[in-house]
């Protein structure tokens, strides 16, 4: 049975189904239960935005509210993963990764390699990413490129409820550390989602729209902006192919290159800061491997190289919008080789 | 409705399946002023799932063509008007001006709505099904390997005009249980009987497509009193040959670019494989249990590249009234198998259609099915 649910509900459902299926799945994080030790309902909060609400009532002490101590509990989750559990640790905001990054990039990501393939670390680290939530510069970043940079980490960033459920189930079943990035402005976004369990394989991009004139690649929230841009372009008789990467590591190079070989034009949209991000990564890969197919310079659409502004009007301008994406597509169609990336 | 309106016959955007809410007119095959006979091809309509021809359900002169090619209309929107030549233009204009698209849901009666999906708890587990029509003979539609009840999108409503029609998802398929109790041919046949028990159907005309044809034959042989007639469409169980590349390709594909060429082998016109069709099948294939169920069924039914059950001779000998329909360009099971049940069966091989002949040549297949069921029912 399929019904329309929000991405927040889909994530909750994925956690619930995997906890039911596999007794080694546990959840850890700050306030994921909420209210423990205080009078009142045990699962009053279910996380800062209510994503894990109701799971404590179903799974009890397999949910662990942790102290405000990212370096301790992320390390504990990683250690538990090497010893047979499948912890899903919630970092609340991915912006807090800094205080526990050694555990993630120098420990979890390296164990399989350093122990000669004998150690596995099936841990998932969930957290919110992205701007547009009026949460200011320290709670609004799209740090996906930092995680994608590290070999040994898998990086997921869904754009909708269906993908979020299937990718989170796959993340929990995967035997490597997965950084699961949830765009907070998509939590309320609803799509048709089956009630059953299903897993979406990593490294399979989703082609949301077919088109022969220009390829637009994105992930997360900006996928929706790219689709709006494609609608606008269609009115000008320009057919854009829109690719949602879904997973950033591994990444589906084949789908990107296949599309560019047909369209000859590429626009990459990334909500992350413009230097060394997915847009630069994909542009460089296509330039090196499919240069002959390109009919015009690749266009990158990103925010400016600044912290996310707190001023609502500036924050709205900061995130790449449909107009900017459509304009970039028109530039590639005009054959302009000039880059317009903000410096 | 006034008596005036009874001579004016609206042609509306059809509803093919539960999920269809709108369709695009892609082109008219009859021009304004043309005389239209029952079953004539009027226009082509494209939905997010598939493109198909709309056939005339009435006779008359095509007095108005309102559906513009390239334009999307809601289901039940007025796209043309048929009437005899003596109906005054002013009456037709008044009819067009006064036409209102019925509410999509709620307001209309059940007979006007698309197939509603229901679930039955059976001895073989949970079975999803759709039921259409009232009275007349009872018909059960059984899809093929990897399919589901929506493979009868263009069939179920046409048959329901004179019959009570059930279409089910076999175990391991669609939204039925993903853990078939017995993935063998007798097991799937028992599941069909368990479904008929659960919904209170004693005997039925069983229509099977592909593997569903083999299931239908097994059922007719094991429980002859439950099967009034057989209609076998591009059926398995009539010969050894099967395109193992199709079976393996369908099971192993996890990405759109792998599944698309596999699905294209199902149709004579590969352009019928839509983005939505591929996406829907990928979503089905990702569900927990589906991969295991498909592999178990395939290894039981199509071991080592050949069909394991050959039932044509037995069905011919059992004297079950049998209709065999095939798409001439079937690339999954060869149309040469059509003659296997022997001279007692009626055999129709339809040109320019592939394995999904009930979708590609829906009008022709529906007419054959209605005739076969009507004659025996």
The pLDDT assigned to A26 comes to: 98
Residue ranges of B 158-177 with Cβ closer than 8 A to chain A: 175
Residue A340 has pLDDT above 80, yes or no: no
Whose CA is closest to B297, among B167, B199, B162, B187? B187
pTM of this structure? 0.87
Class of domain A2-194: alpha beta
User: A203 or A48: whose pLDDT is higher?
Assistant: A203
Q: Which two tokens stand for residue B74?
A: 């809601």
The mean pLDDT value for B354-369 works out to 95
Q: What is the pLDDT of residues B81-128, one digit of tens each?
A: 999 999 999 999 999 998 888 765 443 444 444 447 899 999 999 999
The mean pLDDT value for B324-349 works out to 95
Residue A43 has pLDDT above 90, yes or no: no
Distance from CA of B286 to the nearest CA of A (A): 5
The pLDDT assigned to B116 comes to: 73
Determine, for residues A194 and B283 on separate chains, whether the beta-carbon distance falls below 8 Å. Answer: yes
Determine, for residues A166 and B178 on separate chains, whether the beta-carbon distance falls below 8 Å. Answer: no
The pLDDT assigned to A290 comes to: 96
Confidence of residue A82 (pLDDT cuts 50, 70, 90): very high
Flag whether residue B116 sits within 8 Å of chain A, measured between CB atoms.
no
The pLDDT assigned to B102 comes to: 72
Chain B residue with the nearest C-alpha to that of A252: B255
The pLDDT assigned to A342 comes to: 47
Q: Is A139 a catalytic residue?
A: yes
Tell me which of B118, B255, B273 to substitute to probe the interface with A (most A C-beta atoms closer than 10 Å). Answer: B255
Flag whether residue A259 sits within 8 Å of chain B, measured between CB atoms.
no
Q: Percent of chain A, pLDDT > 90? A: 89
Tell me which of A196, A203, A241, A257 to substitute to probe the interface with B (most B C-beta atoms closer than 10 Å). Answer: A196
Confidence of residue A343 (pLDDT cuts 50, 70, 90): very low
Chain centre distance of CA B269: 17
Decide: A199 and A180 in contact? Cβ < 8 Å: no
Pairing status of strand A86-93 against strand A240-244: unpaired
Whose CA is closest to B257, among A227, A259, A270, A136? A259
Chain centre distance of CA A229: 21
Residue A27 has pLDDT above 80, yes or no: yes
Q: Which two tokens stand for residue B329?
A: 């360009």
The mean pLDDT value for A224-249 works out to 98
The mean pLDDT value for A60-74 works out to 93
Whose CA is closest to A178, among A6, A18, A8, A285? A18
Ranges of each domain in chain B? 3-98, 115-376
The pLDDT assigned to A174 comes to: 98
Protein fold of B3-98: OB fold (Dihydrolipoamide Acetyltransferase, E2P) (2.40.50)
* Range B115-376: architecture per CATH: 3-Layer(aba) Sandwich (3.40)
Residue A119, by phi and psi: left (phi above 0), alpha (psi -120 to 50) or beta? beta
Give me the half-sphere count of Cα atoms (radius 13 Å) on the Cβ side of residue B7. 10
The pLDDT assigned to B303 comes to: 84
Ranges of each domain in chain A? 2-194, 206-333
| Lowest mean per-residue pLDDT among A57-61, A152-156, B169-173, B249-253 | A57-61
Confidence of residue B331 (pLDDT cuts 50, 70, 90): very high
Tell me which of A21, A198, A237, A253 to substitute to probe the interface with B (most B C-beta atoms closer than 10 Å). Answer: A198
Distance CA A237, CA A243 (A): 19
Sheet of A25-29: strands edge to edge?
A63-65, A25-29, A86-93, A124-129, A178-183, A154-156, A247-249
Residue ranges of B 267-326 with Cβ closer than 8 A to chain A: 275, 283, 286-288
The pLDDT assigned to B305 comes to: 87
The mean pLDDT value for B322-343 works out to 95
Q: What is the pLDDT of residues A135-191, one digit of tens each?
A: 999 999 999 999 999 999 999 999 999 999 999 999 999 999 999 999 999 999 999
Decide: A198 and A166 in contact? Cβ < 8 Å: yes
CATH of range A206-333; options 3.40.50.720, 3.40.640.10, 3.90.1150.10, 3.40.50.920: 3.40.50.920
Determine, for residues B257 and A1 on separate chains, whether the beta-carbon distance falls below 8 Å. Answer: no
Query: What angle (nearest 5°) sits at the alpha carbon of residue B273, between those of residues B28 and B149?
Result: 95
Determine, for residues A197 and B254 on separate chains, whether the beta-carbon distance falls below 8 Å. Answer: no
Average pLDDT value over all residues in chain B? 91
Determine, for residues A258 and B286 on separate chains, whether the beta-carbon distance falls below 8 Å. Answer: no
């Amino acid at each position: 049975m399929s019904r329309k649910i929000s991405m927040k509900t889909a994530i909750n459902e994925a956690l619930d189904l995997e906890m039911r299926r596999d007794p080694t799945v546990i959840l850890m994080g700050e306030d994921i239960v909420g209210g423990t030790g205080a009078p009142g309902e045990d699962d009053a909060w279910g996380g800062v935005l209510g994503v894990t609400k109701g799971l404590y009532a179903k799974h009890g002490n397999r949910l662990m509210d942790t102290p405000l101590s990212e370096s301790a509990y992320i390390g504990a989750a990683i250690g538990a993963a090497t010893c047979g559990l499948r912890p899903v640790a919630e970092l609340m905001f991915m912006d807090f990764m800094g205080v526990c990054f050694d555990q993630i990039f120098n420990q979890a990501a390296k164990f399989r390699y350093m122990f000669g393939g004998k150690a596995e670390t099936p841990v998932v680290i969930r957290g919110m990413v992205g701007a547009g939530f009026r949460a200011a510069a320290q709670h609004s970043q799209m740090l996906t490129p930092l995680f994608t940079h590290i070999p040994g980490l898998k990086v997921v960033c869904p754009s909708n409820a269906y993908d979020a459920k299937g990718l989170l189930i796959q993340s929990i079943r995967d035997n490597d550390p997965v950084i699961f990035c949830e765009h907070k402005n998509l939590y309320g976004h609803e799509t048709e989602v089956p009630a059953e369990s299903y897993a979406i394989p990593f490294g399979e991009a989703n082609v949301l729209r077919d088109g022969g004139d220009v390829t637009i690649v994105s992930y997360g929230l900006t996928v929706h902006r790219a689709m709006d841009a494609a609608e606008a372009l269609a009115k000008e008789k320009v057919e854009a192919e829109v690719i949602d990467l879904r997973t950033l590591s591994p990444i589906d190079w084949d789908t990107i290159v296949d599309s560019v070989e047909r369209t000859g034009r590429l626009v990459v949209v990334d909500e992350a800061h413009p230097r060394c991000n997915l847009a630069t990564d994909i542009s460089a890969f296509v330039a090196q491997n499919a240069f002959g197919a390109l009919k015009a310079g690749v266009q990158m659409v990103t925010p400016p190289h600044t912290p996310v502004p707190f001023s609502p009007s500036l924050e709205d301008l900061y995130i790449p919008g449909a107009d900017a994406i459509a304009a970039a597509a028109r530039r590639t169609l005009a054959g302009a080789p000039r880059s317009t990336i903000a410096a | 409705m006034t008596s005036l309106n009874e001579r004016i016959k609206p042609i509306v955007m059809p509803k093919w399946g539960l999920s269809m809410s709108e369709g695009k007119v892609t082109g008219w095959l009859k021009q304004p002023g043309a005389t239209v006979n029952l079953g004539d091809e009027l226009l082509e309509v494209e939905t997010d799932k598939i493109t198909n021809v709309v056939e005339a359900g009435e006779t008359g002169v095509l007095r108005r063509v309102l559906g513009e090619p390239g334009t999307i209309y809601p289901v039940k929107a007025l796209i043309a008007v048929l009437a005899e030549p003596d109906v005054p233009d002013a009456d037709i204009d008044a009819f067009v001006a006064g036409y209102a698209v019925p509410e999509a849901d709620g307001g209309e009666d059940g007979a006007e709505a698309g197939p509603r999906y229901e679930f039955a708890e059976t001895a073989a587990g949970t079975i999803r099904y759709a039921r259409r029509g009232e009275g007349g003979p009872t018909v059960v539609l059984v899809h093929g390997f990897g399919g589901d009840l929506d493979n009868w999108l263009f069939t179920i409503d046409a048959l329901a005009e004179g019959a009570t029609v059930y279409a089910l998802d076999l175990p391991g398929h669609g939204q039925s249980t993903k853990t078939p109790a017995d993935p063998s041919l007798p097991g799937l046949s028992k599941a069909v009987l368990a479904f008929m028990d659960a919904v209170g159907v004693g005997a039925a005309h069983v229509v099977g497509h592909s593997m569903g044809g083999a299931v239908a034959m097994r059922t007719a042989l094991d429980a002859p009193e439950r099967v009034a007639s057989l209609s076998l469409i591009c059926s398995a169980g009539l010969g050894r040959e099967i395109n193992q590349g199709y079976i393996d390709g369908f099971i192993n594909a996890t990405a759109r670019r792998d599944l698309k060429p596999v699905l294209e082998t199902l149709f004579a016109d590969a352009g019928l494989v839509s983005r939505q069709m591929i996406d829907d099948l990928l979503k089905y294939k990702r569900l927990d249990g589906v991969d295991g169920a498909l592999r178990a069924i395939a290894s039981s039914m199509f071991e080592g590249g050949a069909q394991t059950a050959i039932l044509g001779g037995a069905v011919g000998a059992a004297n079950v009234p049998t209709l065999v329909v095939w798409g001439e360009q079937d690339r999954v099971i060869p149309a040469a198998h059509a003659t296997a049940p022997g001279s007692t069966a009626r055999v129709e091989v339809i040109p320019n259609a592939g394995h999904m002949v009930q979708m590609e040549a829906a009008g022709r297949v529906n007419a054959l099915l209605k005739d076969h069921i009507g004659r025996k029912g």
